[in-house]
Amino acid sequence: AVLAASLRERHPLALVDECQDTDSLQWEIFRRIYLHDGDHARHGLILVGDPKQAIYGFRAADVYSYPGARAQSPTPPSSARR
């Protein structure tokens, strides 16, 4: 908990690009740091990804972690598709 609080203080906003290529352990790390305490007014987590572009299955990336991450987000996902 102390490490997560220290990371949130130093980096109050995190952006995970290509989130569809994360694995469940990587997602759990970000979730524990940025979503676990429920104080979303002081820090945030931005997820950017498209499950149709997942390419890292060979290194255990889990495309199903991405929809799970979206579902756990404190705000509804938005789409920037044009």
Using pLDDT thresholds of 50, 70 and 90, give the confidence band for residue 82.
Answer: very low
Where helices occur in the chain by DSSP H, the ranges are 2-10, 24-34, 65-72
Q: What pLDDT shows up at residue 6?
A: 94
CA dist., res. 36 & res. 67, Å (int) = 18
pTM, to two decimals: 0.67
Question: pLDDT tens digits, residue range 14-58?
Answer: 999 988 888 888 889 998 998 877 666 788 888 887 777 776 666
23: which DSSP letter?
Answer: -
